[in-house]
Amino acid sequence: MALEDAKREVDGAFTRAELKGLAFENAFAGAPSFLRRRYTKDLAGVDLAITGIPFDQAVTNRPGTRLGPRAIREASSLQPFDPPYGWDGFSPLERFAIADYGDMAFDYAHTPDVPARIEAHVAGILAAGAGCITLGGDHSITLPILRAHVAKHGPIALIQVDAHTDTWPDDDAARIDHGTFCYTAVKEGLIDVAHSAHVGIRTVVEDNLGIAIHDAREVHARGPEAVAADLKARVGDRPVYLSFDIDGLDPAFAPGTGTPVWGGLSSAQAAVLMRGLAGINLVGGDVVEVSPPFDHAAITAVAAAHVAMELICLWGWTRA
């Protein structure tokens, strides 16, 4: 059946009739929507929307993450032929109506307006009754996304995979910075600190504001299964938002990012960690900081596309 479908499927981003189902369009051809889902702004009947926020004007080092959503979509074309590996046959593309909601429109020259636009963009998706997984963009986008989710769910348990905690102090409300989003989120009361955690950290943290840290060395020493078990116990049944900064991976596995730090997680460890979180009450998530200009052979984009699929699996696991 897959071979017969491959002969006639093309440009499924625009031509596919159903929101559910695997896709057999040639990976190297056609319009690159995320996982070959239909591009649509109509969320009627949509269970989960994938959207891109191509913003990178809050970085401290190398730019380029504005090109991340496009690269992640292209890399994802390798995945929609089969159910994701390691999920015991669970097939979210067949079980749920998933749509590519496209990217958020904004005026790049009016940077101060961007956070409010992001919050409204995500709030609109949530108001339509759909879940939301976001492709970034730099890590500053997570703050307004959290605001939108908290408006619906109340304070959220955060799991953040990252080389940095992003809790550097910043009490200037006008600043937009990918290294301070978590500090601001804590100060605004968005994050349930007692039930949140950082994973993969390998930079100095002066004050992590009470959020637990499972640094990269711990993951290497104890293994991702053990760390995932600790995370599940910490978040319990609370609503969880999972933000995956691709620099949580070692530069060997994610060279295309703005602030690479050695000693990080391998892609294999990340896969086991994410699978080990099955059963958490994931209400939303993102994968950020993919910078294609520094990405040899799309290594980073491929990793990010897999992370996004894992987020979809986590979101769907408790809803199947």
pLDDT of 1 higher than 60: no
The predicted structure's pLDDT at residue 172: 87
Q: Strand 212-214 and strand 239-245: pairing?
A: unpaired
Rounded mean pLDDT of 145-167? 97
CA distance 236 to 234: 6
pTM of the model: 0.97
Q: Which of 85, 84, 88, 108 is nearest to 35 (CA)?
A: 84
Predicted confidence at residue 86, as pLDDT, reads 94
pLDDT above 90 for 7: no
Phi, psi torsion values for 149, nearest 5 degrees: -70, -40
pLDDT greater at residue 119 or residue 320? 119
Mean pLDDT of 84-99: 97
Instruction: Please tell me the predicted confidence (pLDDT) of residue 36.
Output: 97
In this prediction, residue 256 has a pLDDT band, given cuts at 50, 70 and 90, of very high
Average pLDDT, the chain: 96
Is residue 3 predicted with pLDDT exceeding 80?
no
Q: Tokens standing for 191?
A: 């994050």
Evaluate if residue 35 carries a pLDDT over 90: yes
Domains, the chain: 2-317 (3.40.800.10)
Q: Where is the binding site for Mn(2+), in residues?
A: 139, 162, 164, 166, 245, 247
For the annotated binding site, the residues are 139, 162, 164, 166, 245, 247
Residue 247: per-residue pLDDT = 98
Instruction: Give the model's pLDDT for residue 6.
Output: 75
Token code pair at residue 209: 């504001």
> Residue 237 in contact with residue 282, Cβ under 8 Å?
no
pLDDT digits (tens, 9 = 90+) for 120-134: 999 999 999 999 999
Q: Quote the CA–CA distance of 311 and 42 in Å, as a whole number.
A: 22
What confidence category does residue 315 fall into, taking pLDDT thresholds of 50, 70 and 90?
very high
- pLDDT above 90 covers a percentage of the chain that reads 93
Least confident among 7-11, 126-130, 141-145, 255-259: 7-11
What tokens were used for 232?
Answer: 């599940």
What tens digit of pLDDT does each residue of 265-306 get?
999 999 999 999 999 999 999 999 999 999 999 999 999 999
Question: How far apart (Å, rounded) are the C-alpha atoms in residues 47 and 225?
Answer: 29
